[in-house]
Amino acid sequence: MKVITINVSEPIYRAFQVYARANDRTASELIREAMAQYHDTRLARRSSILDFGPLSLGEVHAPLGADDDLLAEMLDD
């Protein structure tokens, strides 16, 4: 584990200490947890549609003909 030094406002750190004490934890644990959550939601690589392979959804019920226009069908209200 890497030891770091951060600067944080007194009121915020005090709030972490109070919450940590009330939940039988340390402020350091809460800060590590907050950093891990930030990493997972903001920094971690998100999957792309390109990461997924083809998926079979079953057999074709009706083949498309030359005159079929799927876009028009999808946009019909």
pLDDT in tens, 11-54: 999 999 999 999 999 999 999 999 999 998 888 877 778 878 88
Tell me how many domains the chain contains.
1
Containing structural domain, residue 32: 7-44
Query: Does residue 72 form part of some domain?
Result: no
> Rounded distance, CA 58 to CA 62, Å?
12
Query: Does residue 76 form part of some domain?
Result: no
Query: Does residue 63 form part of some domain?
Result: no
Cα distance from N-terminal residue to C-terminal residue, the chain: 57
Query: Does residue 31 form part of some domain?
Result: yes
Query: Does residue 38 form part of some domain?
Result: yes
Query: Does residue 14 form part of some domain?
Result: yes
Query: Does residue 28 form part of some domain?
Result: yes
pTM of the model as a whole = 0.56
Query: Does residue 73 form part of some domain?
Result: no
